[in-house]
């Protein structure tokens, strides 16, 4: 027997000691883990002479490439001053500056920032704050939530209760508090001859009917604005958001916008809600907030909601905490991320990149196995016509052989590349995807 390579040894140690996320571990009896030794720009390097284009941004977080010199420098500089201090009773420059700058970016209406580490925690915070607001106003019966069919808001128990993805949810149903889901505006569900806008307005009518019947016991509507990510990048018309805002106002229900995946330019504007010209009562952000470097999430909310918690009675306060709330290193990474957006005119530059990738993708969009090729901002997606249930795993492997990291959601293949991707890399992405489509 030949001696094991160091990479094979690492794979085996990982399988013994690391329980990998979202994985049936037995699959790794036949599917080799990919060991990553280092990364730079859009490329992941495995140390065995292979590289992979990080076409889904390391689970939707990486914006400005790996080992970005400016973000690296900002974190290093912060590291020498203050890595972390608890945020109860203490504060520090990075968390204050980040809160001020985020508020300015969303027009100063959401001026109060509450920090956690992961997206699911941000969902929990928004749900609890919404309920607690109504409780403080003497309306404790407003304790139900409504979300969209196929929505995803994270996988802790509260977040899973407002999530509607059977694969993640079904097993845990007995642990969850049942919520309501209203029909999705996703245009893949449109009827024959119905435009995306007509379909969105029909879905909004269903929301109206739900709120008319249940507003008295409903605290909030939570939704993923414009794109339902985990549902397979389902895209919908912004008119749905405009109607949702009007209906929430009319029926005194909070609107929680979960921009954890779509925030920070993914839909073509800094935040997706901008495209509908609306502001939510709670804005949840995470993932791209630190350009993928460190876990950090925020819930931003209004003066009115903040004021309902303010007073002498401790029970009126939001007594919720996460140990690493407002971590200084993570906040510094987020500030460096905002600097890059501003200094490099990223939103505008991305428009040119999106035009290029759309044009380059013509052979994909017209491929005989491809359905519903679509793009919004810096997200591309399409369905592959097949009834083979092992498509996602097989396609993932075929893509790796083409130097691409692509991880389909069911039959949906999607691109969520770092914004630093250049034209040559976009060409490689399309050519590799075409080759994987023919080879899986
Ligand atoms: C990823 C995601 C979450 C959960 O974030 P985690 O950091 O994985 O907990 C919540 N909502 C949406 C829309 C997401 O895409």
Domains of the chain in start order, with CATH, are 34-67+348-439 (3.90.1150.10), 71-344 (3.40.640.10)
Low-confidence residues of the chain: pLDDT under 50: 1
- What's the pLDDT tens digit per position in 399-434? 999 999 999 999 999 999 999 999 999 999 999 999
Q: What are phi and psi of 418, to 5 degrees?
A: -55, 145
Q: Which are the contacts of 145, defined by CB distance < 8 A and separation ≥ 6?
A: 127, 130, 161, 162, 179, 180, 218, 219, 220, 221, 222
Distance CA 103, CA 100 (A): 5
Query: Which of 214, 230, 160 lies closest to 182 in space, CA to CA?
Result: 214
**Any bridge partners for residue 285, and if so which?**
298
Please tell me the chain's helix, strand, coil percentages from 3-state DSSP, rounded to the nearest 5. Answer: 45, 15, 40
Q: Which are the contacts of 207, defined by CB distance < 8 A and separation ≥ 6?
A: 146, 182, 183, 221, 243, 244, 247
In short, whether 286's Cβ falls inside 6 Å of ligand 1 is: yes
In this prediction, residue 6 carries a pLDDT of 87
Q: Which atom of ligand 1 is nearest to the CA of 258?
A: 13
- Is 74 known as a binding-site position? no
Q: Which are the contacts of 237, defined by CB distance < 8 A and separation ≥ 6?
A: 185, 187, 196, 197, 199, 200
Q: What are phi and psi of 261, to 5 degrees?
A: -90, -40
Q: How many Cα atoms within 13 Å fall on the side-chain side of residue 244?
A: 33
Distance CA 215, CA 178 (A): 16
Q: Which are the contacts of 146, defined by CB distance < 8 A and separation ≥ 6?
A: 179, 180, 181, 182, 207, 210, 211, 214, 218, 220, 221, 222, 253
CB atoms closer than 10 angstroms to residue 151:
24
Distance CA 251, CA 213 (A): 10
In short, whether 261's Cβ falls inside 6 Å of ligand 1 is: yes
User: H or E segment at 258?
Assistant: strand 254-258
The rounded radius of gyration (Å) of the Cα atoms in the chain is: 22
CB atoms closer than 10 angstroms to residue 222:
27
The residue contributing the CA closest to ligand 1 atom 11 is 153
Sign of CA dihedral 272, 276, 279, 280: negative
Which structure tokens are listed for 241? Answer: 């958001």
Is residue 297 a contact partner of residue 121, using CB atoms and an 8 Å limit?
yes
In this prediction, residue 3 carries a pLDDT of 66
Is residue 150 a contact partner of residue 185, using CB atoms and an 8 Å limit?
no
Tell me the CA–centroid distance for residue 315 and ligand 1, in Å: 29
Q: What are phi and psi of 323, to 5 degrees?
A: -55, -45
In short, whether 258's Cβ falls inside 6 Å of ligand 1 is: yes
Distance CA 278, CA 242 (A): 7
- Is 293 known as a binding-site position? no
In this prediction, residue 1 carries a pLDDT of 46
pTM, to two decimals = 0.98
The residue contributing the CA closest to ligand 1 atom 8 is 119
In short, whether 164's Cβ falls inside 6 Å of ligand 1 is: no
Tell me the CA–centroid distance for residue 260 and ligand 1, in Å: 6
In this prediction, residue 47 carries a pLDDT of 82
In this prediction, residue 26 carries a pLDDT of 97
- Is 104 known as a binding-site position? no
In short, whether 322's Cβ falls inside 6 Å of ligand 1 is: no
- Is 323 known as a binding-site position? yes
In this prediction, residue 107 carries a pLDDT of 87
User: H or E segment at 298?
Assistant: strand 297-301
In short, whether 124's Cβ falls inside 6 Å of ligand 1 is: no
Let me know how many helices (H) and strands (E) the chain has, helices first. 15, 16
Is residue 333 a contact partner of residue 74, using CB atoms and an 8 Å limit?
yes
User: H or E segment at 134?
Assistant: helix 119-136
- Is 16 known as a binding-site position? no
């Amino acid at each position: 027997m030949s001696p094991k390579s160091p990479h094979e040894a690492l794979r085996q140690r990982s399988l013994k000691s690391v329980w990998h996320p979202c994985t049936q571990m037995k699959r790794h009896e036949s599917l080799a883990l990919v060991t990553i030794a280092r990364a730079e720009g859009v490329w992941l390097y495995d140390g065995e002479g292979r590289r992979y284009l990080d076409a889904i941004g390391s689970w939707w977080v990486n914006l400005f490439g790996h080992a970005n010199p400016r973000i690296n420098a900002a974190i290093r500089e912060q590291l020498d001053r203050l890595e972390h201090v608890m945020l109860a009773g203490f504060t520090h420059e990075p968390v204050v500056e980040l809160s001020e700058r985020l508020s300015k970016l969303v027009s100063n209406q959401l001026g109060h920032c509450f920090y956690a580490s992961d997206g699911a925690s941000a969902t929990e915070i928004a749900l609890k704050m919404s309920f607690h607001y109504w409780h403080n106003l003497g309306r404790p019966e407003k304790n139900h939530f409504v979300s969209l069919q196929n929505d995803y808001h994270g996988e802790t128990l509260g977040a899973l209760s407002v999530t509607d993805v059977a694969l993640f949810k079904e097993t845990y149903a007995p642990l969850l508090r049942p919520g309501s889901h209203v029909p999705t505006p996703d245009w893949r569900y449109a009827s024959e001859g119905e435009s995306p806008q007509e379909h969105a307005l029909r879905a909004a009518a269903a929301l109206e009917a739900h709120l008319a019947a249940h507003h008295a016991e409903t605290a909030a509507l939570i939704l993923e604005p414009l794109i339902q990510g985990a549902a397979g990048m389902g895209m919908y018309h912004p008119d749905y958001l405009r109607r949702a805002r009007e209906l929430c106002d009319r029926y005194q229900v909070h609107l929680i916008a979960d921009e954890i995946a779509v925030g920070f330019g993914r839909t073509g504007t800094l935040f997706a809600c901008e495209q509908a010209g609306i502001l939510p009562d709670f804005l949840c952000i995470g993932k791209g907030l630190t350009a993928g470097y460190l876990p950090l999430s925020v819930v931003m909310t209004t003066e009115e909601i903040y004021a309902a918690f303010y007073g002498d009675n401790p029970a009126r306060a939001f007594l919720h905490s996460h140990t690493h709330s407002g971590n200084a290193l993570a906040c510094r990474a987020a500030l460096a991320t905002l600097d890059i957006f501003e200094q490099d005119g990223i939103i505008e530059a991305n428009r040119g990149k999106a035009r290029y990738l759309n044009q380059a993708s013509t052979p994909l969009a017209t491929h005989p196995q491809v359905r519903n090729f679509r793009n919004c901002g810096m997200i591309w997606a399409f369905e592959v016509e097949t009834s083979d249930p092992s498509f996602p795993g097989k396609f993932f492997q075929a893509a790796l052989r083409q130097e691409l990291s692509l991880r389909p959601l069911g039959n949906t293949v999607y691109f969520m590349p770092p914004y630093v991707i250049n034209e040559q890399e976009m060409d490689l992405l399309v050519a590799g995807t075409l080759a994987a489509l023919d080879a899986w």
